[in-house]
């Protein structure tokens, strides 16, 4: 606000900078999909005008014209870096006020569809068209209750929000908005680099990183553990040609594993295959420990006297860095932590419904990025405000009163 006020200097001050900014935030809080909708509410609601800071004595004349908002948004776009610093400062305040903030993190992508038509280069000055967005296709595979794999394809024109968030509090930590055709993995590596440079405290305090199998990338899995000691809990894609194929663990001829990280041993006497019991992760050795199923579950095994497994084995992470991670994929802990990734889906849902990105009139990458920054900053500001007011149960609620 100080920056914008200095720019205005001694010029006309018909509409206060701070009042217009407050009204924009109020429009987001109360779910107004457009400037026209916000202006109608300001014309009707004298209390809202007063709270925003518009002159009480001027009545409805204090409400800015539509072109005032257009120009104000243009000025805000020139100061996107300032708005981004607001977001970063609020992340730091959340870390100070919310115990364990950043300890469990996750990442996901969010489609931001544009509802404007694609304009050619010759029509670049036409503000009604969309010049920065791109087409993207997302294919999702799922297995139904009947066991049949189904493929769902989503195609949209617009942008994509790449988001890193705290999965316990369901609050954003870092993000990037780009045209929809940008691949997720390079963007996520850049976001990780940004956290390493600007928010080392949060990154070093993080213990678990969860994501769906769209982020199944060997480099990301290795970086998280090798560089930051963060346990990656990321879904895995089946890249083996034959899903029924198993591979033998190095140095153990009767122990195998599949593409999903399930480890099994074969009884030397009966040639019966059994799933081994997970015995924990040994951080110093960087190995996963698996116990003999017969000894762990207490049943007889005819080949125990000549089985190489004996009581337990250790499998180093280097056996296969995609499949073997510090949290074993076959363990109950992995399933519990993997469910944390759904926090990103709930954040994305709030961005659509509560913050109005499901249906919007935003054009251009710069304005889209700016509006996403303001919305996510408001999400964090509400969390900080609720904490100050000792209302932790409402940290994710925009307009609900205590």
Task: Judge residue 219's burial from the number of C-beta atoms within 10 Å of its C-beta, 0-12 exposed, 13-18 middle, 19 or more buried.
Answer: exposed
CATH number of the domain that residue 95 is part of: 3.30.420
Residue that terminates a domain, selected from 59, 78, 97? 78
Q: Helix axis angle, 80-97 relative to 66-78, nearest 10°?
A: 80
Q: Are 221 and 321 in contact (CB under 8 A)?
A: yes
Tell me the chain's radius of gyration from C-alpha atoms.
27
Taking the C-alpha atoms of residue 88 and residue 362, their distance in angstroms, rounded to an integer, is 23
Give DSSP secondary structure letters for 183-225. Answer: -HHHHHHHHHHHHHHH-HHHHHH--EEEE-GGG--HHHHHHHH
Taking the C-alpha atoms of residue 337 and residue 327, their distance in angstroms, rounded to an integer, is 9
Query: Is the same domain home to 285 and 222?
Result: no
Domain assignment of residue 106, yes or no: yes
Domain total for the chain? 3
Residue 207's pLDDT is: 96
For residue 156, give the nearest of 176, 139, 131 by alpha carbon: 139
Residues of the chain with pLDDT below 70 are: 117-127, 141, 243, 401-402
Residue 294's pLDDT is: 85
Identify the three-state secondary structure at position 375: helix
Domain assignment of residue 195, yes or no: yes
Residue 122's pLDDT is: 46
- List the end-to-end C-alpha distance of the chain, in Å, as a whole number: 29
Taking the C-alpha atoms of residue 258 and residue 248, their distance in angstroms, rounded to an integer, is 9
Domain assignment of residue 68, yes or no: yes
Query: Is the same domain home to 145 and 225?
Result: yes
Query: Is the same domain home to 7 and 62?
Result: yes
Query: Is the same domain home to 253 and 345?
Result: no
Taking the C-alpha atoms of residue 26 and residue 28, their distance in angstroms, rounded to an integer, is 5
Taking the C-alpha atoms of residue 323 and residue 245, their distance in angstroms, rounded to an integer, is 14
Domain assignment of residue 402, yes or no: no
Query: Is the same domain home to 89 and 73?
Result: no
Query: Is the same domain home to 163 and 260?
Result: no
Query: Is the same domain home to 73 and 86?
Result: no
Domain assignment of residue 40, yes or no: yes
Instruction: State which H helix or E strand residue 58 sits in.
Output: none
Taking the C-alpha atoms of residue 322 and residue 283, their distance in angstroms, rounded to an integer, is 17
Residue that terminates a domain, selected from 78, 109, 143? 78
Taking the C-alpha atoms of residue 264 and residue 48, their distance in angstroms, rounded to an integer, is 65
Taking the C-alpha atoms of residue 169 and residue 176, their distance in angstroms, rounded to an integer, is 20
Residue 217's pLDDT is: 92
Domain assignment of residue 241, yes or no: no
Q: Is the full-model pTM beyond 0.85? A: yes
Query: Is the same domain home to 204 and 270?
Result: no
Query: Is the same domain home to 69 and 133?
Result: no
pLDDT tens string 45-75: 999 999 999 988 888 999 999 999 999 999 9
Domain assignment of residue 94, yes or no: yes
Residue that terminates a domain, selected from 78, 105, 138? 78
Residue 243's pLDDT is: 64
Query: Is the same domain home to 230 and 252?
Result: no
Domain assignment of residue 7, yes or no: yes
Q: Are 157 and 180 in contact (CB under 8 A)?
A: yes
Range of the domain at 54: 2-78
Query: Is the same domain home to 114 and 93?
Result: yes
Query: Is the same domain home to 153 and 213?
Result: yes
């Amino acid at each position: 606000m100080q920056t914008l006020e200095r720019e205005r200097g001694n010029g006309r001050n018909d509409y206060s900078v701070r009042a217009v900014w407050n009204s924009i935030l109020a429009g987001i809080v109360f779910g107004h999909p457009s400037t026209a909708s916000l202006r109608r509410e300001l014309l009707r609601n004298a209390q809202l005008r007063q709270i925003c800071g518009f002159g009480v004595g001027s009545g409805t004349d204090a409400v800015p014209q539509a072109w005032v908002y257009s120009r104000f948004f243009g000025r805000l776009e020139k100061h996107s870096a300032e708005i981004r610093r607001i977001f970063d400062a609020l992340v730091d305040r959340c870390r100070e006020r919310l115990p364990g903030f950043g300890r469990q993190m996750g990442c996901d992508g969010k489609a931001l569809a544009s509802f404007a038509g694609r304009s050619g280069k010759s029509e670049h000055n036409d503000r009604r068209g969309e010049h920065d967005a791109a087409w993207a296709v997302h294919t999702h595979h799922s297995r139904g209750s009947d066991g049949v794999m189904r493929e769902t394809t989503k195609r949209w024109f617009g942008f994509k929000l790449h988001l890193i968030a705290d999965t316990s509090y369901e609050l954003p930590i870092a993000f990037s908005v780009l045209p929809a055709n940008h691949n997720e993995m390079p963007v996520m590596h850049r976001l990780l680099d940004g956290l390493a440079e600007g928010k080392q405290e949060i990154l070093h305090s993080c213990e678990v990183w969860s994501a769906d199998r769209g982020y199944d990338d060997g480099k990301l899995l290795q970086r998280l553990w090798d560089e930051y000691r963060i346990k990656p809990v990321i879904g895995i894609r089946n890249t083996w040609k034959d899903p029924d194929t198993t591979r033998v663990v190095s140095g153990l001829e009767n122990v195998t594993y599949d593409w999903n990280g399930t480890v099994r041993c074969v009884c030397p006497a009966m040639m019966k295959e059994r799933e081994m019991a997970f015995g924990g992760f040994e951080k110093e050795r960087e190995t996963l420990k698996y116990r003999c199923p017969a000894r762990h579950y207490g049943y007889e095994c005819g080949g125990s006297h000549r089985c190489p497994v004996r009581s337990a084995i250790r499998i180093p992470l280097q056996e296969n860095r995609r499949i073997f991670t510090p949290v074993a994929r076959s363990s109950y802990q992995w399933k519990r932590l993997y469910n944390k990734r759904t926090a990103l889906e709930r954040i994305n849902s709030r961005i659509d419904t509560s913050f109005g990105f499901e249906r919007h009139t935003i054009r251009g990458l710069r304005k889209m990025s700016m509006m996403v920054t303001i919305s996510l900053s408001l999400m964090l500001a509400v969390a900080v405000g609720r904490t100050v007011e000792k209302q932790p149960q409402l940290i994710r609620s925009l307009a609900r009163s205590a």
